[in-house]
Amino acid sequence: MADPGEKKPRPLPQPTPETQHFWDGTKSGELRLQKCGDCGAVYFPPRPVCPECSSKNVGVFTASGKATLHSYVINQRAHPAFDAPYAIALVKLEEGPVLMSNIVDCDQTPEALVIDMPLEVTFEDNGDIAIPLFRPAGD
């Protein structure tokens, strides 16, 4: 019988043909985004058609991994895969798109999680999938 206090693994996404390049990138320690070759829009989540102009002329590039904290909520309830409290955050990438992620390597308090604080990507390797998380950027 499992220990009721035992931490369960994080729920993991299932890559699709449209998102495989993104997950291949995270596994390699890269945050890969798409950019439209016609209008120049950079976007996330991955998709085969530009959300701005509907062009299929899209390419993949490696993002800087730099971001700022756009918004967050601190969840005070424990989850089987997460110790409480933990931040569920919207991070704005330097390249423009906004991603939902978790903030790690800092206190999960309003005093530590300051809107517009600089962040950098880090990756949590879970076997076949590496999850992009964000931590306060070093000086």
Single-letter code of the amino acid located at 52? E
**Angle made by CA atoms 7, 76, 101, in degrees to the nearest 5:** 75
- φ/ψ of residue 2, rounded to 5: -70, 145
Distances (CA, A) of 132 to 3, 52, 85, 124: 29, 25, 19, 7
Please tell me the pTM assigned to this model.
0.90
Q: Which domains does the chain have, with CATH numbers?
A: 20-136 (2.40.50.840)
The span from the CA of 132 to the CA of 66, in Å, is: 12
The one-digit pLDDT tens for each residue of the chain (139 residues) are: 445 556 678 889 999 999 999 999 999 999 999 999 999 999 999 999 999 999 999 999 999 999 999 999 999 998 888 889 999 999 999 999 999 999 999 999 999 999 999 999 999 999 889 999 999 998 6
- 49 Cβ contact list (under 8 Å, min separation 6): 55, 56, 58
